[in-house]
Amino acid sequence: MSTVKPMTFLTNFGDMMSAGRIPITEKVGDDRLAIDALLGQVARYRLSTFAAMAQLPEFTGKSPRYLRRLLRDCRVAGLLASATLHAGMRYWFLTVAGAARCGLDESRSGPLSEPAKLRAYAMLIFCCISTRPRYRLAANELNNQFSVLHRPGMPGTYYFDPAEKGGIGLARIDAGHHGRWDRVVQSVRQDISLHTRLPGFRQLIAAHRFEITVLTVLPAKAARTASVLNSLPEVKHVPVHVVAQSELLPLIHSSPGKEETRIKKSPSMGFIAPSPGARKNNGQ
């Protein structure tokens, strides 16, 4: 069965701050663990935001000021840097030194392109800023911990859901936002067909421990996509969820001038023309 899941998000704050000069090499104890957690989250998702970082267990009971100070320390030490996510919000990414500290190649450092930023942010909010936390699985984790599932060329959007007996999911990110729900449906059908042919995933499917989640932008498109998916016999074996991430709208609007006209399509194609007030609020 396919379901549409609205998501609620925390307000991002604390991104704008002045730099201080506290050598990170002097940090010990809780500070060191918290810094490693920050770097680990950015490494896993390619980017992170203040709101996502605040959800890490290392910051439970800590004040926003504590997180701001550690981010400042990481920036001064040359491990993290930040760039504009959209108007009024910034994201953090690894520097070359930060990637090396995490044992990653230099290619995993630096700011992201607009398409990569949108996809990475979609995965971040799905896993880290929702009421049900999940964990994106890196390729080496699939290889080392779920070797029966690993195959060359796997997409980087598998996740682990620790709820109940634990399960593996595949997130499909619909970053096109042009109303082509039919293409999304076709991709999901192909995903189900592929995974039912793979021995490791067949075991998960039989144990009801595999699912597919479509991450899209607009609620109307999510509803239309879920409606069509519900009519497919395949979803009786592999649950498919459709999540509307309206928090991605500011990223679309902040891209140089093209989506404003595209968004005003027929509601039957899954588009809703946002009101000027909604546009303003989404961009804050």
Domain ranges of the chain: 24-112, 134-282
Q: Helices 181-197 and 219-230, interaxial angle, to 10°?
A: 50
Q: Are 81 and 75 in contact (CB under 8 A)?
A: yes
**Per-residue confidence at 153, pLDDT binned at 50, 70, 90?**
confident
Return mean pLDDT, the chain. 81
The pLDDT assigned to 105 comes to 94
Taking phi first (over 0 means left), then psi (-120 to 50 degrees means alpha), and beta for anything else, what does residue 37 get?
A: alpha
Decide if pLDDT at 178 tops 90. Answer: no
Would you say residue 206 has pLDDT above 80?
yes
Residue 16, pLDDT > 50, answer no
Q: Which residue has the higher pLDDT, 273 or 139?
A: 139
The confidence score (pLDDT) of residue 265 equals 37
Six token digits for residue 80: 């993290």
Task: Specify the pLDDT at position 182.
Answer: 82
Q: How confident is the model at residue 229 (pLDDT cuts 50, 70, 90)?
A: very high
CB 136 within 8 A of CB 127: yes
pLDDT of the residue at 254: 61
Q: What is the model's pTM?
A: 0.79
Q: What are phi and psi of 111, to 5 degrees?
A: -65, 160
Q: Of 263, 270, 249, nearest to 125 (Cα)?
A: 249
Q: Which pLDDT does position 143 carry in this prediction?
A: 81
> pLDDT tens digit string along 123-152?
999 999 988 889 999 888 888 888 888 887
List the one residue out of 188, 149, 153 whose CA is nearest residue 171. 188
pLDDT reported for residue 19: 33
d(CA 111, CA 94): 8
Residue 27: pLDDT band with limits 50, 70, 90: low
Report d(CA 156, CA 144) in Å as an integer: 15
Q: For residue 151, what pLDDT is reported?
A: 80
Domain 24-112 architecture: Orthogonal Bundle (1.10)
∠ CA 235-241-244, nearest 5°, is: 145
